[in-house]
Amino acid sequence: MDDNRCQCVLRIPVVWARTGSESGILMLRVFACLGLLLVSGAAAAAAQRLVDLRDLETPKVVEIRIDHLGAKPITNRELRAAMHTQVGERFARRFFRADLSMIENLYRSRGYMDVDIVRRRFALDDEGRLHITLKMDPGRQWTVSAVDLAFTGQDSLLAAILRSRLQMGPDEVFRYGEVIADERQLLVWLNSEGFAHAQVSNDVQLDSRRQQAAVSFQVTTGRRMYFGDVSIDDADLQTRRSLLDRQLTFREGELYDPAKLRRTRNNLSRTGLFRSVTLTTPLGASGDSVQPVVLRLRERKFIQLRSRLFVNNNEPGVSGRVQHANFLGRGNRIGVDANLGQPLQGLTFFLTERDLLASTADLTLSAGVTDEWGDTRVFADPQDAGQFDLLINNYSRAKELQLQLGAEETAAQLSRATYDYPSVERLWKLNAALSRRWERSGGLAYASNLTMNWTQSRNRPIAGRVIDFEDGGAATLDDLDSGGNLAYDDNKITIDDTWVELLANEARALNFELDFQRDTRDNQIAPTHGTFVRTAALYAIELGGSRNRVFDGDVEARNYLRVGERIIWAQAVRGVMTGTLRRESDLPQAYWKKFGGEGSVRGVERDAILAAGGGRGGVVLRSELRF
């Protein structure tokens, strides 16, 4: 019976009765139940109409039943998984015929060479749905009668080694897949030992009377070969020969090994300089043990131009990049990134040196200046004589507070006040980044970056705009009457040259950052599954009068899960913590954090969650469905 089919069992209790009348009643009940079962079975059989395979159109399949004569060596779940025809889908004759061949080949791969599908039954119910029944006769499992190796050569030791590497042996279950695996293993081993032109083939003799198979392998080794000269098919390459030689994993005179050729091809492909990489090993002169290698390369277009036009709430803008990906033919990248318009504007020049000092790490140097527009929220500084005088003379409640409580208490109350204003930060930056990437099987990739940069920043309010002034909600100020109509009484301060000078903030710093990434996404731009994890730590030394020290930690994780044919569920979490190593020191403005990143909360603008005096830490969670 099918191990995945529900069964209905009717249990009829049998009671011993002493009286004849009671026994008769019991027998009547039993016969009535049996009659009911026979009638219902006949009705069900009558409801299904047998049809021929040639008469089937495209009905919906509701049942695939597979019965076996004798033992069941392969489960029905595995058989149905190998079929293209599935329950709930439309029937197609061309797919079903291929399914029958697939099922027979699956049995033969397990040693059942005499497998036969003895019955195929197709029935349509009263709703026009298709019920399929297959009856399998797997037969007996074949065995291996003998395994032989025919070796062409005089090295008896090599022949003994080849025989010892065979996995198949006499009296074992015959599986043709194991024959192919042994053939390939012999060829791979011979190639790794320098036999570049070795040939291995198999011959299987089937004995249907005894249900056995005799397997023999024919091996021709040829001469043991050594790597010869590497020639390049295209003489007009812009890439220098020195770069190509650094990617080779073999040298002239070494024993031939195809694995080294594969690694060389992968190294050349990972440079990103070539559209195609092909290594061929042509036959040399007769009797020669030197194996020449021919390298055929097709280079990419190295000069790249990229631009993007965008429109936001502020103004239209344009960004672009000009890059040469193979500068001087050494694989170096040189280029410039440019942005015009808000919120980011500036120029950055960069240069990348590949495989620094014959290592697998790349060094990128960059220098640039940018202007970035945004919002800044800071506490008032009543210790600044200029700010204190402006507030006393232009804010009625502060003026009244000074008259009643004095200058010292007024300064304490005003320290709770905040300024919220639009600002622009000009940043000069020199950057050096050492990066390395590892790729593993299964789409797994690791990346690590060590960065050192020098920055000089100047954050200033935008002249002509307005500062939103909040006095902090102190009870002492709320109890006072404004007593007048001064310039700041509406909590709005027009930014003039004086306020630009008072709120301008300049800083110079030396930053060291270590970044580590783990990526299993199938696509970095539009992933459908996989995870991305990034951790980063930054240590900054602020130069100048304060000589502060800042530590910054950043952890980010993203996960992508396919929940439908075209629906992707993406989840992301990011946590940031920043602080100074001196408790009495304020956090420099260049390291303040803004949260509410793009797409994090519907209705919240990008980086719109601000904290007075700068954010020190926070968590951003994001979950979305992508179509």
Q: Are 555 and 606 in a shared domain?
A: yes
pLDDT band at 518 (very low <50, low <70, confident <90, very high): very high
Closest to 381 measured CA to CA, from 615, 613, 616: 613
pLDDT at 484: 56
In total, the chain counts a number of residues equal to 627
pLDDT at 200: 93
362 assigned to some structural domain: no
pLDDT at 22: 53
pLDDT at 15: 36
At residue 14, what is the residue type? V
DSSP readout, 237-305?
A: -SS-HHHHHHH-S--TTSBP-HHHHHHHHHHHHHTS-EEEEEEE----STT--EEEEEEEEEEPP-EEE
pLDDT band at 583 (very low <50, low <70, confident <90, very high): low
Rounded Cα–Cα distance for residues 92 and 84 (Å): 9
Q: Are 316 and 267 in a shared domain?
A: no
Contact 460, 424 (CB under 8 A): yes
pLDDT at 426: 94
457 assigned to some structural domain: no
Last residue of a domain, one of 80, 107, 137: 137
Rounded Cα–Cα distance for residues 229 and 245 (Å): 12
Last residue of a domain, one of 137, 167, 191: 137
Rounded Cα–Cα distance for residues 562 and 626 (Å): 10
596 has pLDDT over 80: no
Average per-residue pLDDT for the chain:
84
Contact 627, 566 (CB under 8 A): yes
Query: 598: which strand partners?
Result: none
Neighbours of 180 (CB within 10 A): 11
Q: Are 549 and 618 in a shared domain?
A: yes
DSSP conformational letter for 526: S
Q: Are 287 and 325 in a shared domain?
A: no
pLDDT at 446: 93
Closest to 543 measured CA to CA, from 514, 511, 579: 511
2-11, 29-38, 596-605: least confident range: 2-11
Q: Are 104 and 56 in a shared domain?
A: yes
pLDDT (tens digit per residue) in 421-443: 999 999 999 999 999 988 887 77
pLDDT band at 14 (very low <50, low <70, confident <90, very high): very low
Q: What is the CATH number of the domain that holds 156?
A: 3.10.20.310
pLDDT at 495: 93
Across the range 384-402, mean pLDDT stands at 87
At residue 90, what is the residue type? R
Q: What angle do CA 369, 372, 373 make, to 5 degrees?
A: 155
How far, CA to CA in Å, does 135 sit from each of 10, 64, 103, 303? 26, 11, 12, 65
Range of the domain at 290: 226-299
pLDDT at 439: 80
Report strand pairing: 445-461 vs 418-439.
antiparallel
First to last CA, the chain: 43
pLDDT band at 451 (very low <50, low <70, confident <90, very high): very high
Q: Which two tokens stand for residue 554?
A: 């950043």
402 assigned to some structural domain: no
Q: What is the number of structural domains in the chain? A: 5
Q: Are 189 and 263 in a shared domain?
A: no
Contact 337, 347 (CB under 8 A): yes
41 vs 258: which has the higher pLDDT: 258
Across the range 525-545, mean pLDDT stands at 88
pLDDT at 37: 54
Rounded Cα–Cα distance for residues 391 and 397 (Å): 9
Q: Are 127 and 210 in a shared domain?
A: no
Q: Are 625 and 527 in a shared domain?
A: yes
Rounded Cα–Cα distance for residues 4 and 81 (Å): 13
Q: Which two tokens stand for residue 251?
A: 């040298």
Residue 206, helix vs strand vs coil: strand
Report strand pairing: 290-299 vs 226-232.
parallel
Q: Are 523 and 611 in a shared domain?
A: yes
38 has pLDDT over 70: no
179-193, 431-445, 571-585: least confident range: 571-585
Q: Say which residue the tokens 């904290």 belong to.
A: 611
Across the range 502-514, mean pLDDT stands at 92
35 assigned to some structural domain: no
Closest to 362 measured CA to CA, from 266, 290, 433: 433
10 assigned to some structural domain: no
Last residue of a domain, one of 299, 320, 344: 299
pLDDT at 453: 94
Rounded Cα–Cα distance for residues 85 and 88 (Å): 9
Query: 438: which strand partners?
Result: 446
pLDDT band at 202 (very low <50, low <70, confident <90, very high): very high
Q: Which two tokens stand for residue 456?
A: 């000089």
Contact 230, 265 (CB under 8 A): no
Across the range 291-309, mean pLDDT stands at 91
506 has pLDDT over 70: yes
Q: Report percent pLDDT > 90 for the chain.
A: 39
99 assigned to some structural domain: yes
> Per-residue b/e over 385-406, b at no fewer than 16 CB within 10 Å?
eebbebbbeebbbbbbbbeeee
Contact 323, 298 (CB under 8 A): no
Q: Are 199 and 279 in a shared domain?
A: no
Contact 34, 61 (CB under 8 A): no
Q: Are 513 and 626 in a shared domain?
A: yes
Q: Are 121 and 207 in a shared domain?
A: no
Across the range 124-134, mean pLDDT stands at 90
429 assigned to some structural domain: no
How far, CA to CA in Å, does 252 sit from each of 161, 284, 355? 28, 15, 22
460 assigned to some structural domain: no
Across the range 148-154, mean pLDDT stands at 80
215-219, 477-481, 495-499: least confident range: 477-481
402 has pLDDT over 90: no
40 has pLDDT over 60: no
